[in-house]
Amino acid sequence: MPSNASHLSLSFPRPRRVEPVCSGLQAQILRCYRDHLHEVLLCSDLAKAYQHCVSTARKG
């Protein structure tokens, strides 16, 4: 019979390493929102690019 520790490692796989994705776009969009506080639609192209980047990262 396996030891308790080995049983746990089989029951709970190690979590995947999570690394930041799209950080460059994230910084750009935050800067855009800050710079255009009352005209956030000016940032819509960046927002779309960020959404696409995140979606692609989730699939990959």
Within a domain: residue 53? yes
b/e 7-21 (16+ beta carbons within 10 angstroms → b): eeeeeeeeeeeeeee
On whether residue 44 sits in a domain, the answer given is yes
Is 33 domain-assigned? Answer: yes
The pLDDT, as a whole number, for residue 19 is 81
- pTM for the structure as a whole: 0.66
Q: What is the pLDDT of residue 27?
A: 96
> For 3-45, what is each residue's pLDDT tens digit?
566 555 566 777 776 788 999 999 999 999 999 999 999 999 9
Q: Is residue 11 part of a domain?
A: no
pLDDT the model gives residue 48: 98
Residue 46 contacts residue 28 (beta carbons within 8 Å): yes
If one counts the domains in the chain, the total is 1
Q: How far apart are CA 28 and CA 50, in angstroms?
A: 9
Q: Is residue 47 part of a domain?
A: yes
Which structural domain range is residue 50 located in?
19-59
Decide if 35 is inside a domain: yes
- The pLDDT of residue 35 is 98
